[in-house]
Structure 1
Amino acid sequence: MADFAGTGRKRPLLNINFQNLLLDPENPRLPQDVQGKSQNDIIYALYKFFDTEELAYSMSENGYFDEEPLVAVPENLLDKFIGLSYEDLKNNQDYNNFINNPETKFIVLEGNRRLSTIKLLLDDSLRNELKIKTFPSPEEKILEDLKNIPVIIYPERKQVLPYLGVRHISGIKKWEPYAKARYVANMVKAGNTIDEIQKQVGDRTNSAKKIYLSYQLIETVRDEFDLDTSKAENLFSYLLLATGQGGVKDFIGLDKKLQNVDLENPVPCDKLENLKDLFSWLFGEKETEKLPVIQESRDITSKLSPVLRKSHAVQILKETRNLDDAYEMSDGEDELLKKNLSKANRLLATSLGLFNDSNKEFVLDDIKKIKETLDKILLINDIKL
């Protein structure tokens, strides 16, 4: 029997009543606090965060395009079908009777935004319950069209994951970074290795490893310190950028080569506090109302990474949470002294050409202060010129 992801096609395409279709509580695109919640909670989250209202206006004009079927799995697959591929099931009359039974319900794994829109369009009471007053009111013929939806049926969730990865990681309908990371984590939980996942989705840039590493860092911080990681999830690209920087890798104990990192336990125990500090500097601390020290993503590469290479600069950052001050110290005190004296000398050389009879009295006090400072430097350091 063939062992590739597309084996067994064509899978059954059924027209299923919308009431028999359930939204996926494990949808990688859902916010963390919505995952596992009720159907109504998921519908409202999709409305709030993914603009189902726009889709509703399109559907109210066009109905449902059969060219874009949903993809679903049975909610409660019978035990005798578990573990069997569709190649094994396609000629199984019991299985065909089961999926065609009007009582069988299905969890939609691809097309949740479309399904939630349909449920809202067809249910006035649901819209009232969720206080959604901006949806259109389609004509009756459109409503009839939306009641039965084309759905491709897979036996089990794990068999759909390769398709979702190709579509949303390397395909044309890419998810946002954290949703991709959740997908990769689900694939790993289903028994796939990262290398297998990358082959399945056509990933040639190690993006699956990179996003899974950052996902694991979020999980580690949440598990070890019970911190709110919602901002890290929303700004997941910051974490992806940070974990590619040498200074950050050294600070949290990551091997410089990605292929050598233990993705299940990426941070050594003695570096966990450093990981906590890194998250605080990148995303702030909701619990203590501390703001992040970075203002924009380029601060990670231009300032934070150099700071993390120098222990004295890290200490200043810990004490002051001022990234600019810490960055000034990231080259060491000797380099900072040399830098400051060179800057002062350049400014004095520039000022030399500006002196004239009309302004010398105006700047005399400043000149005296400069001389006093130079005299102190010479005296304190026993320098004779």
Structure 2
Amino acid sequence: MAWWDAHFAGGQRGRVPVERLKFDDTNPRYTPDKRPKSGADAAVIEYLDRTADLGELIESIASSGYIDIEPLIVVGRGDDLVVLEGNRRLGALKVLLSPELAAEANVSVPELRPEVRATLAEVTAFKVENEQDARELIGFKHINGPQGWDAYAKALYATRWLDEQENRGEDALSLTDIAARMGDKHDTLYRIVSAAYVLQQAERLDLFRVEDRATRNFSFSHLYTALTYTEYREFLGLPRADRSANPPRNPVGEEHLQNLRILLRWLFGSKSEGIAPAVKTQNPDLAALKKVLGHPAARRVMLERSELAPALEMTIGGSERFDKALVDAHAALKIAAGELSNARPDKALLELAGDILRRAQLIELNLRSVPPPRQRSAEPPQAGPSESE
């Protein structure tokens, strides 16, 4: 008999002392780029304070007391009663009850009135028999509900749920079923799960590790957005997405694995190899790389140099380059003209201005001498002699 059975006598809902509840060390919030330094309570609370606005919840509870409306969802793991849903609330309650723990976690807590403290010692919890029983409720709340996780946490949670279904035969839920239960009507789950499987394949094959990214934050949206474009999918040898079936768990074929390694470095860089990501921001860099991948010569330059700017130049035609250069020069000269009151007479600047004038005159002369594009005649062409003539 488990120690908690007495608290749930006669049902799945009961009142449990806060001090006996444990944080979930498999919390979907914990992604490779965002997780506590350890499993200790202080480390978890410090993490929640940094990533989940714990301070705001602490202030609310300290002001009004704990409003015990929504039960924590718990499950038994060995001798522990683990909170599957409500870890943020649990963190706030633990530091309010223990100033020592709050200090260890570097969390500021206010003084509590006696009537407030009386609401904290025990909370209502709903105990599930296994974690699968809680999937749907937790998923709805955090995937498409009022307290959404970031896209990477959502993707990992959905892939874990989908993987659990693999051996359930006819009773298995498809990703379409899961998305319907989550209220996802925009194919969001399909896109992020597909990208998560691509990433997991790369990690299994040691082609990339999220922990080795070059930037502080992991911009998972770069990957799942990229995989919606034909140019990126063709680079990885991926067919058109089939949303009527579950996404494959090893989507990239062996012949394209090197391209997968390269693409992930373009998107996220590599700290261990000293490689900065080519995609600095999703807009406009992701669209620029898409354009490069769709242009054979530009793609070759990108593969050789891993530099986006020179590769992108290859996608621009000669006429476009001229137009852009002239427009940019005009914009720069307008700025310079507006700053004339701050100009200082300088021989080098006078020579530069004279050179600009000569080049501008040369451009104007050439533009005036180039005939305008021939207009297509409105009259039909004269018919040539027929073969019989």
TM-score, with length taken from structure 2: 0.73
The offset of 1:14, in angstroms, is 1.0
Equivalent pair of 1:253/1:271 in contact (CA under 8 Å): yes
CA contact (8 A) 1:25 1:36 kept: no
Q: Give 1:304's aligned residue.
A: 289
In 2, distance between residues paired with 1:194 and 1:363?
Answer: 62
Q: Does 1:328 align with 2:319?
A: no
Percentage identity across aligned positions? 25
Residue deviations 1:110-134, cap 9 Å, x none? 11111011111112222233343x2
Q: Structure 1 residues 146 and 330 mapped into 2: Cα distance closer, same or farther (>3 Å)?
A: same
Between the aligned partners of 2:320 and 2:292, the Cα distance in structure 1 is 17
1:61 aligns with 2:46: no
3-state SS of 1:160 partner: helix
Amino acid at match of 1:17: P
Aligned residue pairs, count: 321
Taking a change above 3 Å as real, the CA distance of residues 144 and 271 of structure 1, as seen in their structure-2 partners, is same
Match of 1:352 in 2: none
**Residues of 2 paired with 1:302 and 1:151: CA distance?**
48
SS at match of 2:119: helix
Contact 2:36-2:47 within 8 A present in 1 as well: no
311 and 325 in structure 1: CA distance in 2 versus 1, 3 angstrom threshold: same
Cα distance 1:250–1:226, how it changes in 2: closer, same or farther (>3 A)? closer
| Partner of residue 136 from structure 2, selected from 162, 169, 179 | 162
Q: Distance in 1 between matches of 2:49 and 2:325?
A: 58
Report the equivalent of 1:216.
197
Partner in structure 2 of residue 30 of structure 1: 30
Structure 1: which 5+ residue stretches go unaligned? 1-9, 77-103, 349-360, 374-385
Q: Distance in 1 between matches of 2:50 and 2:324?
A: 53
2:206 to 213, 221, 225: 225
Question: What is residue 383 of structure 2 aligned with on the other side?
Answer: none
Equivalent residue, structure 2, for 1:13: 13
Equivalent residue number for residue 263 of structure 2: 278
Q: Distance in 2 between matches of 1:113 and 1:227?
A: 31
TM-score of the aligned structures, taking structure 1 as reference length: 0.74
1:340, CA displacement in angstroms?
Answer: 4.0
What's 1:124 paired with?
99
- Matching residue of 1:200: 181
Following superposition, the deviation at residue 362 of structure 1 comes to 6.7
Q: Residue 240 of structure 1 corresponds to which residue in structure 2?
A: 224
Partner of 2:126: 152
Residues 193 and 364 (structure 1), Cα distance of their counterparts in 2 relative to 1, 3 Å cut: closer
Gaps of 5+ in 2: 1-9, 166-172, 330-353, 367-389
Residues 251-305 of structure 1: CA distance to partner in whole angstroms, max 9, x if unpaired?
A: 1122123437842111111111111111111112111222211232122453111
* Secondary structure, counterpart of 1:145 in structure 2: coil
Go from structure 1 to structure 2 and tell me whether the alpha carbon gap of 1:23 and 1:12 turns closer, same or farther (over 3 Å shift): same
**Cα RMSD between the aligned structures?**
3.3
Cα distance in structure 1, aligned partners of 2:319 and 2:156: 48
| Residue equivalent to 1:71 | 73
Secondary structure of 2:26's counterpart equals: coil
Residues 225/75 of structure 1: CA separation in 2 closer, same or farther (3 Å cut): closer
Q: Distance in 2 between matches of 1:16 and 1:347?
A: 68
